[in-house]
Structure formats: C-alpha cells, structure tokens
Copies of this chain bind each other. A is one copy, B any other.
Amino acid sequence: MDAYAALVARFRRRGRVEDALGILYWDRATLMPSGSAEGRADQIAELSLIAREILIAPETAELLDCAEADRNRLESWQARNLELMRREYLLATAVPTDLVEALQRAGAASEMCWRETRPANDFARQQPHLEKVFALVRQAAAARGEALGLAPYDAQLELFEPGLREATVAPVFEDLAVWLPDMIDDILSRQAEAPEPAPPRGPFPLAGQKALGQRVMAALGFRFAQGRLDESVHPFTGGVQDDVRLTTRYAPEGFAEALMGIVHETGHALYEQGLPVEWRGQPVGRSGGMALHESQSLICEMQLSRGPAFLRWLSPLLAETFGPQAAFDPDNLNRLVTRVARGLIRVDADEATYPLHIVLRHRLEKALLSGDLAVGDLPGAWNDGMAELVGIRPPDDRDGCLQDIHWMDGAVGYFPTYTLGALAAAQLMAALRRDVADLDERVAGGDFAAFTGWLREKVHRRGLSATTEEVLADATGAPLSAEAFRTHLAARYLG
C-alpha cells in the first residue's frame, strides 16, 4: 500500500472513532441519566485519546512525509486531502501535551466558576480564571501559529474555520460597524410607524409542534432514514453524517421559537447529509468551518423561513395544526418574525443587531489575546462598546461581559464565525435567487427542491475540498463581503 493510501485508511479509522463519539455526545445531551456522567466522561475521554493517538502516531508523520514527496501522483482532491491531513497533524501536535491539559483544566475550572459568577454578577471572582485562560490560550496560539506560520489570532481563527484570516475578517467587520448602527436607527423608526403584530394565542400542544416540525424538515429535504428529531435542553445538531440528530425544545406558550429553531438546525443537518459519501472519514469530506456551517443554518432560518414566501406556505399549515387564528395571517407572521430591538443579550438578538454584538466581541478578544486589553478592564470596555455599537449600556456584568460561555472555556476566535455565517447566508441567497428565478413561487407552494438542491451542489457536496472563501466565490461570483447582507436588511426592513 502506498503512503497516501495508508493515510486514507488511518484517517478512515479515526473517522469511525469520531463518529462513535458523535453518538455518545448526542446521547449524553438527550437521554443519558444523570448518574452516569462520570462513566460517560471516561468513555469519551478514552475514545478521544484513541482518535488522537491514531492521528499523532509517529507513523502518521512518516506517511505524511512520504506521501508529500510523491504528491504529483495525486488527483487534486487527493492533494487537498493530503494538505488537510498535514494541517490536522500540525494542529494536534503543535501544542505541547502539558499545555493542552493545562488549558483543558483551566477552561473547565473557569466554566464551572462561571456557572455561579454569572447569576451572581460577580466579575471579580471570574477575573483570575479568565486571566489564566487567556494566558494559556496566548501560549497555545503562539505555538500553533509557529507550526502553521500564522499570527496568533489567525491561528485561533484557523481552529474554527480552515483558511480564514483576520485580513479577511477585519475589513468586513469594520464595514459593518460603519453602516449598521445607522441602519438600525432607520429600521426602528420604520418599525415604530407600522402596526404591532397580533400575538399568537396558545397553548400550542407539543405533539402538534413536533409533527409540524417534522413536516417542515421533510419538506426542506431532511432524510429521516438518516436522521432523527428529538428534544434537549439546548437545541443542537449532532450525531454523524449518515445519522444526523437534531434536537429542539418545545414550550406550549409559543410555536415560533421551536419551529424556527428546527429550521435553523435543519440547515446544519442538510449540510451534513449532503456531504460527499465517497470522501467519508477523510478530512476533505468534512463540512467546512463554523462560518460556512452557520451560513447553512441561517440561510434556512433567517433568509428562507423568516421571509414572506415561506410564511405564505406556513400559514395554512399552522391553521391546520393548531386551529385557525388571526395571528397566522402571513403578513402578521411576517411582522412577528422580523421584529428588531436593541438588546443586551447576543443569543436573543435579531438578525439586524446581532452582528454588532459580534463586532464588539471580535475587537475585545483580539485585544485580550494580544494583551492590549487587560482582563480587569474588560467590563468597562464591554459596556463602552455596547453603548457605541448597539446603542445600549449594560447595567451589570451578568448581562454584559459575563453573558457568554465561549471565552470562559478558552474558545477565542469562534465569535466571528456567527456573523460571517450570516453574511455568507445573505450572499448565497442572493446568488440562489439569481440562479432560481421563480424561487418565491416555489417556496410559497412548499417546493424546496430547487433551494436545497442549489445548496447541495454549491456548498454541501464540496466538503472541505475548497475553503469557505473559495466556496463562496465559486457559488456567488464575489468574495465574502457584507454587501449582500446590507441589501438583504434594506429590502426586508426598509423596502
């Protein structure tokens, strides 16, 4: 067997262990009884270690050297796969094991503490944990950057989005910071002039909500022969590519949050179900980074399901499921799901204000990583930034800089992917509309084949054979920018 073929076998093996982990994680979040958390943690740690050992074994390095020396023999997707293998090997070996473990311990302790300090609004108690986490992330980013030839923040971005660089992110986010605050002023003025939407009247029985959710998933092209819909406290998409497991959370008072949540997770799920089967288990066969993944959930949720054509299709389904009521009128639904409001909390933000929450976090995490901002100065910088960007000043740290888990746990470089995903979703939707001229009529008639088919062809089936920026450029004819997003907001809220 030649070196490349041996690597393929090695990564396939690792992929199967990781698939097993995907099911164990899903089970832990949905079904596992509380008293087996420790045992499950042991199982997950053991399988993770096995997957890591397969990757970082000395044989892997030897095979990579051999295969790279002989790379002219490879087809282009194989050459890309080999590059990604090397990338994974470098990412896994660049950081010394004791530093990896120190970071895991510090992140776990910091997160544990945060579960108390956030409700207690006690930044002072969180501060030393956060200082330690950022100090260790700084070391890890430097080590990873050295191995990959990247600046430290780029090395963090690379963790979450292969190929993404700050040189791409910075100008896009600066652009947003310039025009979006003013646009939000305009949107809010316009919204104030329009009639208030009629609120839907519950209760909305859970069985009906679930059946409707499954109906929408199936219409969007979710294959239930290779996936499931279940419930969990924090909705997510997990499982594996041929067994994609969505979860949601129902509340009888409202249907919209769970339903839009299902559409969001279905976007993630369609991406996983659409990955090329023939590359399964190989780095080239994986989904792209978090930004591209988020673009797939947001094109379904924000672009599609909060748009008028979808709501025209949904309106009679709601009446059929829950009985007719005035709130199900498509125009009313439209007003209900496109409300904009300045708020303190990122996870509750609407699509218009959300990017400004991210622009703030992006600025701050770069400064925290470089050391330009001391952790002790974070609350003040946060509150000033919120006032400047979102136009609202947090009264405390609980709803300010303590609100998110990401930094507590060492996830630095993750936040930008949320907004890059939103921008990419808008850009992809604009291109999709150009390519599928009668999209709105199809959607209003419940025909999503062209919508999902376009995404499968332009995004899903490419796996990681191209970077996010290449996928976007190929699909839309333009580099990643905030332009389509701006046009989308203007059309939806100011049109």
Contacts and interface: CB of A to CB of B under 8 A. Distances in A.
Contacts of A19: 39, 42-43
A13 B225 contact: no
A41 to B, nearest CB: 10
A16 B23 CA distance: 15
Given A24-B20, A42-B16, A33 B240 contact: no
Contacts of A20: 20, 24, 43, 46-47
Given A33-B226, A240-B39, A23 B17 contact: no
Contact of A35 (B46, B226, B280): B226
Interface string A239-252: 01111000000000
Contact of A17 (B27, B47, B240): B47
B240 A35 contact: no
Given A23-B27, A243-B33, A243-B36, A17 B228 contact: no
A398 to B, nearest CB: 31
Given A27-B23, A36-B243, A50 B226 contact: no
Contacts of A486: none
Contacts of A39: 19, 240-243, 280
A227 B223 CA distance: 30
Number of copies: 2
Interface in A235-292: 240-243, 280
Given A23-B24, A23-B27, A228 B33 contact: yes
A31 interface: yes
A47 B46 CA distance: 11
Contacts of A228: 31, 33
A40 B17 CA distance: 11
A33 B35 CA distance: 27
Nearest to A273: B35
Q: How large is the interface on A (under 10, 10 to 19, 20 to 34, 35 or more residues)?
A: 20 to 34
A126 B17 CA distance: 36
A34 interface: yes
| Secondary structure of the A contact surface, majority rule | helix
A341 to B, nearest CB: 39
A112 interface: no
A77 interface: no
Nearest to A44: B20
Contact of A227 (B33, B40, B45, B241): B33
A32 interface: yes
A18 B230 CA distance: 26
A47 B31 CA distance: 22
Determine which residue in A38, A223, A226 has the highest number of CB atoms from chain B within 10 A of its CB, and name it.
Answer: A226
A24 B226 CA distance: 16
Determine which residue in A13, A16, A47 has the highest number of CB atoms from chain B within 10 A of its CB, and name it.
Answer: A16
Contact of A243 (B40, B45, B224): B40
A26 to B, nearest CB: 9
Contacts of A240: 36, 39, 43
A50 B224 contact: no
Interface in A1-56: 13, 16-17, 19-20, 23-24, 27, 31-36, 38-40, 42-43, 45-47, 50
Interface of A: 13, 16-17, 19-20, 23-24, 27, 31-36, 38-40, 42-43, 45-47, 50, 223-228, 240-243, 280
Given A17-B50, A33-B225, 15 more contacts: A16-B45, A16-B47, A17-B47, A19-B39, A20-B24, A20-B43, A23-B23, A23-B24, A23-B43, A27-B27, A33-B224, A35-B223, A36-B242, A39-B242, A39-B280
12 contacts: A13-B46, A16-B43, A16-B46, A20-B20, A23-B24, A33-B225, A33-B226, A33-B243, A35-B243, A36-B240, A39-B240, A40-B243
